[in-house]
Amino acid sequence: MLAAAVISLGLIAAACSNKKDEGSGGGDTTETTAGGSETTAAGGGETSAPETTAAAEKPVYGGTLVVSGEAEVANAWTPAAMQCDSYCQQRARSFYDPVVVVGEDLEPHGLLVEGWTTNDDFTVWDFTVRPGITFHDGTPLDAAAIVKNLQVAGQGLLLGAALKDIGKNADGSLAIEATGDMTFQIKTGFNGDLAQPLPWPGLASSLGTQWGLIASPTWLDAVAAGTADPTMAVGTGPFIVESYAPRDKLVVKRNPDYWQSDADGNQLPYLDGIEFRVIEDSETAADALRSGDIDIFSTSAALVISDFREEADEFPMVEQDELTETNYILIDLDKPGPLQDKNVRCALSLAIDRQELIDATAGGILQPANGLFSPGQQGYLEDNGGFTDFDPDTAAAMIEEYEAANGPVAVDYGTTTSQINAQVAELLKGYWEAIGVDFTYTQVPQDSFITNALFGDPGFFMYGWRNHAGVRLDNQYFWWHSANAAPDGQLALNFGRIRDDAVDAGLETARSATDEAEATAAAESVNRTMAENCYQIPTSWTLWGTPHKPAVKGLGGTWILPDGTASRDGAGFSGQFWTQTIWIDPNA
């Protein structure tokens, strides 16, 4: 559907943990299959199967998986600098492990940490690092290594503003320190002020985001000194970076010393390696899968998903459809002109026939969206007071009233370089020209999308977008809080430059509330405020599909975390899958 571009710091479930205990995003999954036809996955290698009783099929070691995704990353591959969409995170999590992982219970569970405790008001958090883990370069994982990563990334240009309620010391460093060789502590403070400790029940979940991806401190020091290549990442993950060619491919090989095993004690991962390619157009990627050039890809292009539902005998598909993102039109509210007028924005929304848009460009399989809160998320409302009914007559009257006082309305829309997104743009052109709006559109490479929105590029007025998956309102804090809405020309994770006191108040209440009813009421208030002001224009709720060759096994949340909990499929994010447990069946 509409273009995807997200900094995935926001796509993990920020569920509350229980104080004094370890805490135990992406959508739910279903697999579409039918009678499998013969296919061969790329790669070779050892084919002996480890002993297992946890699954009906025995995983097989060996083989190289060929994956494609729709965008290249900007500023690869240090955690502090990556400007990540979903496919960036998919790749990064093959060589980095996060501090925590979201389980099927939507709670954070320790990965690089064994667990954590908090004080009574969730303002001081103490973590214990899991022993016996080393980075790919032999550097041991300890508290100092994690603290260094959290300090560097947390003070970086990209993530610093998103972590404003982590306490800050007098020297400007974050209030994160090692309290022992294998323990560290994080303190909170409103806007960083340690004199104002801030209750933050969901803080642990933030360590499963980009901030919590942990790189070798030895490598980070070398990168900072200019003696190491920032694209040759060094983590603790299941795979080791072998080569990287931007806009072409990333090749990773099996980490022979990976610290994790499956439920039966067999060392992970099973694959010899993975070749990650970049294919920006989902229809082109679909053809590559059908021709055998790739083994698997993920897409939010509903028309492509609809087609693969009819090809389940040849290409089984995992679908993620819960707690998902919204497809919408992202508006830069800092741009002078008609888009700063609420009535113009609401008129543009009323002019869209969402069901026709879905039928024409999404195979009719999506649901029209009334806001940026998808069903199941905290704060979702069936009626939020928004302007999403199809009412072109009212829309035309609103545009006419604006133009009588201010002159013509012209909008410039941006989208990515796929055929489907061009079709969406043509439909929008028809809707908006019918109500008297002049319309032009430009197609932009997807990796430029993020950069343009981050810095409020002069050409960024409104973009087709996809974002805001999650469980709780705290997932959206940095996307919508005015503290993250630096003006055009400066980096802002609040891409739309939304500055609204009511939105800020709701976000702050929901972050710190320990009462679920209070947090939910705050989330609903934010939903209404966003909808009634038409700050952004929702169109549909996202659906992700991951079609693959029948030989590709191990998808669908089969990774068991160290505490015995099943992981949430999609690596906690929409449009992704864990690579630890993928294997290739040579007999399929």
Whether the per-residue pLDDT at 500 is higher than 70: the answer is yes
Cα separation of 204 and 184, whole Å? 13
Q: Say which range, 132-136, 280-284, 329-333, has the weakest mean pLDDT.
A: 280-284
Q: Are strands 544-547 and 462-467 parallel, antiparallel or unpaired?
A: unpaired
Q: What is the pTM of this model?
A: 0.84
Query: What pLDDT, on a 0 to 100 scale, did the predictor assign at position 471?
Result: 87
> What is the pLDDT at residue 8?
38
Pick 414 or 28 by higher pLDDT.
414
CB neighbours of residue 172 within 10 Å = 8
Overall average pLDDT of the 158-185 stretch: 93
Its sign, for the CA torsion 123, 561, 88, 376, is negative
Q: State the DSSP string of 504-538.
A: HHHHHHHHH--SHHHHHHHHHHHHHHHHHTTSSEE
CB 431 within 8 A of CB 391: no
- How far, in Å, CA of 388 to CA of 373, rounded? 14
Tell me the mean pLDDT in the region 571-584. 83
**pLDDT tens, residue by residue, 442-489:** 998 776 888 899 999 999 999 999 999 888 899 899 899 999 999 999
Is the preceding peptide bond at 256 cis, omega within 30 degrees of 0?
no
* Residue 179: other Cβ atoms inside 10 A: 13
pLDDT at 190: 94
> Is 60 exceeded by the pLDDT of residue 406?
yes
CB contact at 8 A, 161 and 486? yes
Query: 1.10.540.10, 3.40.50.300, 3.40.50.2300, 3.10.105.10: which CATH number matches 326-541?
Result: 3.10.105.10
pLDDT exceeds 50 at position 342: yes
**Per-residue model confidence as pLDDT tens digits over 424-448:** 999 999 999 999 999 999 998 776 8
State residue 35's pLDDT score.
33
* Residue 237 DSSP label: S
Measure the CA dihedral 440/444/450/456, to 10°. Answer: -40
Question: Measuring CA to CA, which residue among 348, 362, 402, 210 is closest to residue 282?
Answer: 362
pLDDT > 70 fraction of the chain, expressed in percent and rounded: 89
**314 touches 37 (CB < 8 A):** yes
The region of weakest confidence among 23-37, 147-161, 509-523 is 23-37
* Helices 501-512 + 516-532 axis angle, to 10: 160
Q: Which sequence spans correspond to the domains of the chain?
A: 8-229+544-584, 326-541
pLDDT at 237 over 70: yes
Mean pLDDT of 497-516: 96
pLDDT for 243 beyond 70: yes
Taking residues 493-507, what's their average pLDDT? Answer: 97
> Is the model's pLDDT at 81 over the cut of 80?
yes
pLDDT 10s digits, 40-60: 233 333 334 444 434 468 899
Element (H, E) at 448: helix 446-455
Q: Which of 112-116, 223-227, 573-577 has the lowest mean pLDDT?
A: 573-577
Instruction: For residues 325-345, give the mean pLDDT.
Output: 97
Report CA-CA distances (Å) from 353 to 106, 357, 391, 394, 457.
35, 6, 8, 13, 29
Which pLDDT score is estimated for 52? 42
Q: Tens digits of per-residue pLDDT, 116-154?
A: 999 999 999 999 999 999 999 999 999 999 999 999 999
The DSSP bridge pattern shows strands 113-118 and 124-129 to be: antiparallel
d(CA 514, CA 502): 20
Would you place residue 570 in the very low, low, confident or very high pLDDT band (cuts 50, 70, 90)?
Answer: low
Return d(Cα 107, Cα 207) in angstroms, integer: 12
250-267 tens-digit pLDDT = 999 999 999 999 988 999
Average pLDDT over residues 396-400: 98
Give yes or no for residue 557 having a pLDDT over 70.
no
Residue 572 pLDDT: 56
> Which one has a higher pLDDT value, 6 or 489?
489
E strand map for 105-210:
108-110, 113-118, 124-129, 176-180, 183-187
Q: Which residues of 73-99 are buried (b: 16+ CB within 10 A; e: fewer)?
A: bbbbbbbbbbbbbbbbbbbbbbbbbbb
The C-alpha atoms of residue 57 and residue 75 are separated, in whole angstroms, by 40
Distance, first Cα to last Cα, the chain: 32
- pLDDT for 278 equals 93
Give pLDDT, residue 85.
81
Task: Give the model's pLDDT for residue 56.
Answer: 61
pLDDT on residue 438: 97
pLDDT digits (tens, 9 = 90+) for 198-228: 999 999 999 998 999 999 999 999 999 999 9
Q: What is the mean pLDDT of residues 179-190?
A: 98
Secondary structure of residue 236 in the 3-state scheme: coil
Between 71 and 404, where is the model more confident?
404
Cis omega (within 30 of 0) on the bond before 77? yes
Answer for the pair 315, 371: CB distance below 8 angstroms, yes or no.
Answer: no
For the domain bounded by 8-229+544-584, which CATH number is listed?
A: 3.90.76.10
Q: Is the pLDDT of residue 31 over 60?
A: no
Residue 63 to residue 566: CA distance in whole angstroms: 25
Q: What is the mean pLDDT of the chain?
A: 88
Higher per-residue confidence, 5 vs 345:
345
Same fold, 8-229+544-584 and 326-541: no
Q: pLDDT value at position 322?
A: 82
